[in-house]
Every structure is written in structure tokens, then in C-alpha cells.
A = this chain, B = another copy of it.
Amino acid sequence: MDLKTLYAPVARDLADVETNFNELADYWKAEFPELHDMLRHILVGGKILRPALTFMAGRCIDGQSKKILNMATANELMHIATLVHDDAIDRADTRRGRLTVNKLWGTEKAILLGDFLFARASEFAASTDNLRVTKLFSQTLGIIAVGELRQARDIYSSDQGMEKYLQRIAGKTAALLKMSAESGAILAGGNEAQIEALAGYGYNLGMAFQIVDDILDFIGTEAELGKPVGSDLRQGTVTLPALLLIQKHPSDNPVSDFLAGKDREGNIARAIKLIKSEGLIEESYKLAESFSGKAISLLEGLPDNACRRGLSALADYLVRRRN
């Protein structure tokens, strides 16, 4: 099973999102070529998970509609906007193996391009003519921003805990996956129980997704990750595997030593090794699986059809993926 197979039922819908993206970029081709180039560069690739979720959730309830397409486009644009700002903040040189906007055009233009993408995202959301999803969109943008602010606050802090970690990833990742599924359900005309089930599915899928991301950052290879192993910790962000190591050895562990500025390279290497040898990867996967299990169980209220099986398979896939 791969993503392409999982997305097959909504492949044509996803191609429509690509068409929207092409039009968005080409609009500026003659009049503002640099903006066109930036958009062309950034509006490609990735897992396109958010629009896939919106379409798949919509399919669970009804057929397709122009409104769902607009919202799916909005959800992916919001995701891309946050990536552009994240990379500018982290001063990252590459993402998915390609140069970042800040690397190619500078931090200043990356900030402004992110703002532009937020604007276009909110225009697509408003173009659904549905006040409920428009409000959901604004609220979610706020939740993501607070999640990112919490992460910036907690950087290089050894005052960490499970609660803070879960709160951060709920904001920075799960909120948008929740909206992606929820907005599809709303626009397809789902009833409140269906909307709630799909919102809950998206939220729990998002929690599992981010935990797996945080695991892969420790166990992936540089080739798979497109960035150095242990990147999060290198940047001072304590994710689940590192957090479990602190909890297991509160008084003596390489993560706390790293955060305190001691022998950074040595402690990163020791942390990666210990996290693997002490079974903390397995423990982290258990938490990811409990979230994906919750996501799948929430689908039970929906009719047992191809769509529901597709969302269930997607949750399985996202926990097993290697990149």
C-alpha cells in the first residue's frame, strides 16, 4: 500500500487542487514574475494529505462539490504557508530535499510569501460561501499560531512534560488535520454526529502523524529524511522520544546535557543511541498507535463503505510510513 493507491478514489479531485495551484501561480507570470517563480517553487510536492482528507471525508457523506475543492485548496495552502514561515524561523536550507524559499529568496520574502499564502488560503475558504467552515478556518489558523508560539517558547527548555508536548503537537499539526476532515464533512452536508466523528478522526490522525514524524527524525536516515538525523533536538525542540529519555533518566541524560549547552555533538549522538537502545522508539510508536486506533474507532459511526475503509487504511499507512 502506498499513498498513491490510498488516494486513488480522490485522484481526480487532487488533480483539481493542482490546477488551482497552477492558476494561482500563472496569474502573476507576466506582471510579477518573481512571485510567479516563488509560487511555482513552493506549490509542488509533499503528501497533499490535507486536501486528500477533505475529499475523502466529503466522500464518506456525499459526492463531490466545487465547495469541497475550494476548501481542500485552502487547507493545503494554509499548510504550505506554515511551512514557509517555519523554514524562515528555523533558517532551514532545505525541505523535502529542495531549497527553501528563505534560502532562495531571503527571510524577508519568505515572511511575505507566507502572508500571501495565508491570504489566498482564507480567500479559498471564504469562497465556499459557508460561514461555519470560514470561522473554523480562522480559529484553526489561530490554534496553529499558538502551537508554534508554544514550541518557540519551549525551545532549549528542560522544563518539559508530556502535557506540554501533546498540547504543542495538537496545535501545530492535529488542528489542521482535524479541520481538513471536518470541513469536508461540513461541506458535504454531514449531520452533526458525522461531522464530529470525522473531526475526531482528523484530530487523532494528526496526533499520530506528528508523533511518527518525531520518531522518524530519530530513526530515519539522512537520505529518507532530507535533513540530518535528530534535527528537532539539534534545534532545541524536545519531541516524544527525547522526552521519554528525560523521564526515564531524570538526573543524568544526554538530552538535558545537550539543552544545557554541554558537548552538543557528543550528546546528540548519545541521545540518538540511547533512545534506540532503551526501547523508547517502541514506546513512542505505542502512543502513535493509540491515537491512530482512536482515529479508526471514531469512524465506526459512519457507513461501512469504501470511503471508511480508505480512511482506516490511511491511518494505518501513516503510522507505518518511513518518510
Contact = CB atoms under 8 A, between A and B. Distances in A.
A123 B135 contact: yes
A67 interface: no
A123 B142 contact: yes
B85 A112 contact: yes
Contact of A32 (B85, B118, B123, B146): B146
Given A88-B111, A123-B138, A126-B134, A116 B146 contact: yes
A109 B112 CA distance: 15
A24 to B, nearest CB: 11
Interface in A130-183: 131, 134-135, 137-139, 141-142, 144-146, 148-150, 152-153
B109 A111 contact: no
Contact of A89 (B34, B82, B108, B120): B108
Contact of A115 (B35, B85, B113): B85
A141 B115 contact: yes
A129 interface: yes
A116 B88 contact: no
Contacts of A153: 32, 34
A323 interface: no
Contacts of A35: 146, 149
A119 B150 CA distance: 16
A20 interface: no
A32 B120 contact: no
A292 interface: no
Contacts of A146: 32, 35, 116
B126 A131 contact: yes
A111 B83 CA distance: 12
Contacts of A145: 112-113, 115-116, 118-119
B89 A111 contact: yes
A146 B35 CA distance: 9
Given A35-B149, A88-B111, A116 B134 contact: no
Contacts of A118: 115, 118, 141, 145
Given A114-B115, A122-B122, 19 more contacts: A32-B153, A35-B149, A89-B111, A109-B152, A112-B145, A112-B148, A115-B141, A115-B144, A116-B142, A116-B145, A116-B146, A119-B139, A119-B141, A120-B142, A126-B135, A126-B137, A129-B131, A131-B134, A134-B134
The 4 closest A-B pairs by CB, nearest first: A119-B142, A116-B145, A119-B141, A123-B138
27 contacts: A32-B149, A35-B146, A82-B115, A85-B111, A88-B111, A89-B111, A108-B152, A109-B152, A111-B111, A112-B148, A113-B149, A115-B118, A115-B141, A116-B142, A116-B146, A116-B149, A118-B118, A119-B138, A119-B144, A119-B145, A122-B137, A122-B141, A123-B135, A123-B138, A126-B137, A129-B131, A134-B134
